[in-house]
Chains A and B, each alone.
Chain A
């Protein structure tokens, strides 16, 4: 398959695949990011961690140019995304694979056709080649035998593996995982972890993994970023994060329920609310 030539000039930092620079983004005047900056380097697994609701998935939508930042810039392969035309954005996306939280398989196509979908849409490969490519990718995720099943017949873990096969069928340079471990049993989780690592080591794919499963990510990530309150609160290797003395980082890494991130959503005084109105009521 002809791989599109790398667009844009790559300077001395040609190791940097994704460069997020001081990005601000708000939804309905509610700020999600207040000047977030991070880089993803070639051939490495970059973990983006943070509590639920910190905009991790939004960051992925920004990197894949599904939405545009209010301020700041995102540079992918040396191209500022805000300067790309729709055709160029589609060209860039062909070099990326993305694994969605729930797999996002097309429900009217069976497993085989789901994996074949990008090939049929973007290439004119003859049927035997498509068949061979799809079966190879399905074999890589251990689901060659499930080729004829419909998405509704798959378990959560299987659906995610099929989605992974679909994400790698175009041989992307970058693979993006959006919460790949959510709702998986320990066996499926182990399988996905091993697959992420083998995709990275065996195929040299640059990986971006968004998740809040700290323990799992620590075993595979090369670089990690911890997001909170719309900015990066810590960056470094998983070991550096684990050794951090910052309260926010410690709370997240150890999973304690109270700390800089409060356990309770802001509420009026507990006793006041429980007994305030009914005190002296029914005896």
Chain B
């Protein structure tokens, strides 16, 4: 790759980062006015949250069950299978729920947000709003952004609950770990801090993933190809940013 293309790439990257930062500030300015129309916000929470429930619950169950199997195998070597409850709970609450939920959110809700807003631009709906003196940032972008931020921690909580059930099903019912020690060890070892860490992570991921999805849709080239590319960028950027932020936050919390 030549030096010129390198510089081009860097310039484009810096420009996109700057653009998204400005877009983020503008979104924040529109959050309060958007809350004045709670119906729109509730509808978007339903769109991003309730409609992602099935995929989140299914994945939560599978991840929890795998955690039960792997955890049992590992702990058995040290003769401490009873600690399976603690291992599953900490793994899910602090790490797996927020991260996997964010990745699934990017694929399910993020793509639908991007393509919806992108198609609204392609079919002149956003311009029509502008001409009708309705700010699309307030009517379209901000409610979807808020919806994503509210939905993410709720989805992560559901993921944790279903995941724990999955781990319990495998560990206790299948592998024969004592149910009493599974639950009581979990209860005594998991602290409020662990729960808070997961909630903060999922809130941050909610902001990042919703911002990327709305930004990409809002700035998509108004063609079929443009909307397709924007949707792809949403998934890629959200996933990478989620994992990067996770690393940074985990390092901070430890």
Contact = CB atoms under 8 A, between A and B. Distances in A.
A98 B123 contact: no
B131 A64 contact: yes
A282 to B, nearest CB: 37
Nearest to B134: A121
A101 B131 contact: no
B131 A93 contact: yes
A100 interface: yes
A208 to B, nearest CB: 13
Interface stretch (A12-20, A102-110, A197-205): A102-110
- In terms of DSSP, what is the predominant structure of the interface of chain B? helix
A77 interface: no
Contacts of B127: 61, 66, 100, 104
A94 B129 CA distance: 11
A101 B119 CA distance: 15
Interface string B97-139: 0000000000000000000000110011101111111110001
Contacts of B125: 104-107
A264 interface: no
B134 A118 contact: yes
A91 B133 contact: yes
Contacts of B128: 98, 100, 104, 106
Interface in A226-277: none
B234 to A, nearest CB: 20
Given A102-B124, A104-B124, A107-B125, A118 B131 contact: no
Interface in A71-109: 90-91, 93-94, 96, 98, 100-102, 104-107
B124 A66 contact: no
Contacts of B139: 121
B217 to A, nearest CB: 14
Interface in A120-148: 121-122
B123 A90 contact: no
Nearest to B132: A118
A258 B36 CA distance: 58
Interface in B141-195: none
Given A102-B123, A104-B124, A121 B130 contact: no
B142 to A, nearest CB: 14
Contacts of B123: 102, 104, 107
A55 to B, nearest CB: 16
B134 A96 contact: no
Nearest to B43: A108
B133 A93 contact: yes
A91 B131 CA distance: 10
Contacts of B124: 100-102, 104
A90 B133 contact: yes
A61 B139 CA distance: 21
Contact of B131 (A98, A105, A106, A107): A98
Nearest to A91: B133
B8 to A, nearest CB: 16
A122 B139 CA distance: 13
A102 B125 CA distance: 10
B132 A117 contact: yes
B154 to A, nearest CB: 23
Contact of B132 (A91, A93, A102, A107): A93
Interface of B: 119-120, 123-125, 127-135, 139
25 contacts: A61-B127, A64-B131, A66-B127, A66-B131, A90-B135, A91-B133, A93-B133, A94-B133, A98-B131, A100-B128, A101-B124, A102-B123, A102-B124, A104-B125, A104-B128, A106-B125, A106-B128, A107-B119, A107-B123, A107-B125, A117-B132, A121-B132, A121-B139, A122-B133, A166-B132
Given A66-B130, A66-B131, A106-B125, 19 more contacts: A64-B130, A66-B127, A90-B133, A93-B131, A93-B133, A101-B124, A104-B125, A104-B128, A106-B120, A106-B128, A106-B129, A107-B125, A117-B134, A118-B132, A118-B133, A118-B134, A121-B133, A121-B134, A122-B133
